[in-house]
Amino acid sequence: MSLTAKTQSFVLGMEKVGKLVSQTLDYTQRFLKAGLTTNDINDLVHDYTLTHGAIPAPLGYEGFPKSVCTSVNDMICHGVPRDTVLKDGDIINVDVTSILNGYFGDSSRTFIIGEVPARTQQLVATAKSAMEAGIEVLKPGLHTGDIGFAVQSFVRGAGFYVCKDIGGHGIGTVFHDDPFIPAFGKKRQGPRLSPWTCITVEPAINEKNSPSKEFAIPGSKITEIATESGCLSAQFEHTVLITDRGYEILTLS
Residue 182 makes contact with ligand MF3 by CB under 6 A: no
Return the residues of window 199-218 that contact Co ion according to CB under 5 A: 200
Rounded to 5 degrees, what are φ and ψ at 111?
-110, 150
Min dist CB 57 to Co ion, Å, is 9
Of ligand MF3, Co ion, none, which one does residue 47 interact with (CB within 5 to 8 Å by kind)? none
Nearest to 86 by CA among 31, 123, 136, 22: 31
Angle at 251 between CA 200 and CA 245, to 5 degrees: 65
Residue 62 makes contact with ligand MF3 by CB under 6 A: yes
Judged by CB under 6 A, which stretch of 32-40, 44-52, 58-66, 124-132 contacts ligand MF3? 58-66
Residue 68 makes contact with Co ion by CB under 5 A: no
Residue 178 makes contact with ligand MF3 by CB under 6 A: no
The whole-angstrom separation of Cα 113 and Cα 236 is 16
Judged by CB under 5 A, which stretch of 44-52, 85-93, 149-157, 193-201 contacts Co ion? 193-201
Of ligand MF3, Co ion, none, which one does residue 15 interact with (CB within 5 to 8 Å by kind)? none
Angle at 23 between CA 204 and CA 63, to 5 degrees: 55
Residue 110 makes contact with Co ion by CB under 5 A: no
Asked if 242 contacts 139 with a C-beta cutoff of 8 angstroms, the reply is yes
Secondary structure of residue 181 in the 3-state scheme: strand
Return the residues of window 78-137 that contact ligand MF3 according to CB under 6 A: 78, 95, 97, 106
Nearest to 142 by CA among 65, 242, 236, 220: 242
Of Co ion, ligand MF3, none, which one does residue 58 interact with (CB within 5 to 8 Å by kind)? ligand MF3
The secondary structure of the chain in percent helix, strand, coil, rounded to multiples of 5, reads 30, 30, 40
Residue 22 makes contact with Co ion by CB under 5 A: no
Closer Cβ to ligand MF3, 23 or 122, answer by number: 23
Asked if 42 contacts 130 with a C-beta cutoff of 8 angstroms, the reply is no
Please give the residue ranges that form the binding site for ligand MF3 (CB under 6 A).
Answer: 58, 61-62, 64, 69, 78, 95, 97, 106, 200, 202, 222, 237
